[in-house]
Amino acid sequence: MNTILCIKWGDKYDRTYVEQLKNQCENNCSVPFNFYCLTDKPTQPYDVLLPTYWDKYYLEDRDFFWAYRKCYMFALNEDPQILPRIKGDKFLFLDLDVIIHQDLKYFFELPMDKPYIVRGWWNDTITVKSNFAKHKSTPINSSVIRWDRGQLETIVKKINKNAEVIFFTYPSVDNYFNHHWYNCWNEEGGFFKGFPKGDIYSWYKGNIFPEDMEKRKIREDHKICLFNNSAENNDVEELKSLWNI
């Protein structure tokens, strides 16, 4: 069974974002699917309470963008408190701030020898490799992840084993993934596989470096548009305006 997951935590995105994402999925997915929102404040039938056991490792004073709560959803067979409620074998995670252009069926039909994550093709590979040790210029993006049940449990185990070091060292979950679960020197050789060029692009950063880097451009021939990591103050309003296009 196919399952689409999202996460809502804190106040940046209100409930309308979850509803908007759910509507987008219903309008753009031709195969049956479950829908769940993992959240700190469950109010809807599709809501699932997120655990908090990693909160003690988060270092607020470092101002890191550590969206670590995302990783709880990888523990589908592990956490007896919340995750048995989540049904399905094929999982697709979507950030709340995405625009879906095309049928999500595509993602559920991918060959799953490896899990998939967004490969930000808008990144310059040379910059990515040059900044690897500086923990900057991460080429992957966890706004869309596709995995089969059990495929990402190893990540949860690794985080549980190394939580202090991981939360201390990496400025973001994407950077952590880049260091330990991707291989920017041998992109076919990493744990994650990147979604191919032409699937997912960034509203704020472009599409493919260097040939298609126009920002703030809708590309309806792609499947999903990302808005995350924009560092833009008005990104919420901008996204809302695009929902109405």
User: Does the footprint of other proteins cover residue 162 (CB under 8 A)?
Assistant: yes
User: Does the footprint of other proteins cover residue 154 (CB under 8 A)?
Assistant: no
For every residue of 92-149, DSSP letters joined together read EEE-SSEEE-S-THHHHTS--SS-EEEE-TTS-HHHHHHTTTTT---SEEEEEEEEET
User: Hey, which residues between 84 and 143 contact other proteins (CB under 8 A)?
Assistant: 126, 129-130, 132-136
Distance of alpha carbon 221 from the chain centroid: 21
| Closest separation in Å from C-beta 179 to other proteins | 7
> Beta strands 116-119 and 140-148: pairing type?
antiparallel
Cβ count within 10 A of residue 64 = 19
**Which of 3, 229 has the CB closer to other proteins?**
229
**Which of 143, 172 has the CB closer to other proteins?**
172
User: Does the footprint of other proteins cover residue 243 (CB under 8 A)?
Assistant: no
User: Does the footprint of other proteins cover residue 169 (CB under 8 A)?
Assistant: yes
Closest by CA position to 144, among listed 77, 70, 234:
70
| Closest separation in Å from C-beta 165 to other proteins | 5
User: Hey, which residues between 55 and 74 contact other proteins (CB under 8 A)?
Assistant: 62
User: Does the footprint of other proteins cover residue 81 (CB under 8 A)?
Assistant: no
